[in-house]
Chain A
């Protein structure tokens, strides 16, 4: 049985206006137009979305999980980037 599967597309859905598109899964489809249609059938059967993005999975560039320390650890000791780092007098601390 010779098989040639359709390319994989990642699906992102905006659940309502005012919110970001969020990744929700993937579908196989021969082209972008059908990927949108399949994504609609698979991921929005109950009004879960008002807008869909599909992106060919092979076009997505992801960070390497092994690079987590060098990418994300530097932010760990920069507590002065958070408002709670600053102790202000009670009268003005709601600032």
Chain B
């Protein structure tokens, strides 16, 4: 019901729906100002549509590529329990990707075009997944910090003005809490283990902390969000979300018994928030630009999976067509 074209009655006084039209635009803005939702077949400015396609598909690609660093440890999970949990978590991320692709497709882009964007490297995904998972502790830290940061980012999106995206995000957010908790639980268990295991946890925290707080994106002073804010797509700024995440995480690190690798991290009574040190944005842009440790591997893995699966997709389609022809003949 979302991607097939709707026939427009001839002689529509407002003209073709896709064309920019001040009357439509006024209605659209009024609905957003009233806190209402825009649905798939409603008129929307082309730029709103394009911005959403870019954001939702980047988000979907991140979920899909995000399966790779954790998938790396499924066969090496230290117990059957942890293996079952990790499998379920990674499967969820695949599901999130699929919810989001479906939401993007409601905007009139095909799944094949979206896939092509990822495989060709034209579309971006979250830079965090270009870091390697070196030890089992990384799996716990990803759940705790990376999923934790993702949750902060995603909760405001449940109220985004585009209905299909907002609904997909509600589904995603319901599942994310398990991701963060299983990661923290895994780390708690390791912290009760040997000194080597505790060191492993601290090492993982040291490597993932700054990349995790970079996940919120550039500082507000360096990013342009006027339109996404105007349109109710982005509701809370990068810096505000980052601050919220830092404030929430300090206590969790304390309970866990690890230190966060930032000497400038301290409570600021006047602000009522934690201050933290300078973020290395050069590293951030480097990874975005394709020069992270795993960019090449991630894209290669996705391309291989797509190519290796081609014969299955074709065979399934050929079988379905044959069955349909047979049913018609009978």
Contact = CB atoms under 8 A, between A and B. Distances in A.
Interface string A1-23: 10111101010000000000000
Interface in A55-73: 57-58, 60, 62, 64-67
A8 B105 contact: yes
A45 B17 CA distance: 38
Contacts of A65: 6, 39, 41-43
Given A8-B3, A66-B12, A42 B111 contact: no
Contact of B1 (A4, A31, A62): A62
Given A4-B112, A31-B319, 4 more contacts: A30-B320, A45-B95, A64-B6, A64-B8
B41 A62 contact: yes
B41 A57 contact: no
B319 to A, nearest CB: 7
Contacts of A66: 8-9, 12, 14, 17
Contacts of B17: 66
A6 B105 contact: no
Contacts of B92: 45
B210 interface: no
Interface of B: 1-4, 6-9, 12, 14, 17, 39, 41-43, 88, 91-92, 95, 98-99, 102-103, 105, 110-112, 115-116, 119, 167-168, 171, 175, 313-314, 316-317, 319-320, 323-324
Contacts, number: 82
A4 B324 contact: no
Contact of A42 (B6, B7, B42, B98): B98
A18 B289 CA distance: 53
Contacts of B103: 25
A36 interface: no
Nearest to B92: A45
A93 B66 CA distance: 60
A57 B4 contact: yes
Nearest to A25: B102
Nearest to A64: B6
Contact of A4 (B42, B102, B317): B317
Contact of B95 (A1, A3, A42, A57): A42
A25 B167 CA distance: 9
A4 B316 contact: no
Nearest to A46: B175
A5 B8 contact: no
29 contacts: A3-B112, A3-B115, A4-B112, A4-B317, A5-B110, A5-B111, A5-B112, A6-B317, A25-B103, A25-B167, A25-B171, A26-B2, A30-B317, A31-B316, A31-B320, A31-B323, A34-B316, A41-B91, A42-B98, A45-B88, A57-B1, A57-B4, A62-B1, A64-B6, A65-B6, A65-B39, A65-B41, A65-B43, A66-B8
B2 A57 contact: yes
A6 B6 contact: no
Contact of B9 (A1, A4, A57, A64): A64
Interface string A30-50: 110010000001100110000
- 9 closest A-B pairs by beta carbon, nearest first, are A31-B320, A30-B320, A60-B1, A3-B112, A30-B316, A5-B112, A26-B102, A65-B41, A30-B317
Contacts of B323: 31
A58 B4 contact: yes
A3 B306 CA distance: 11
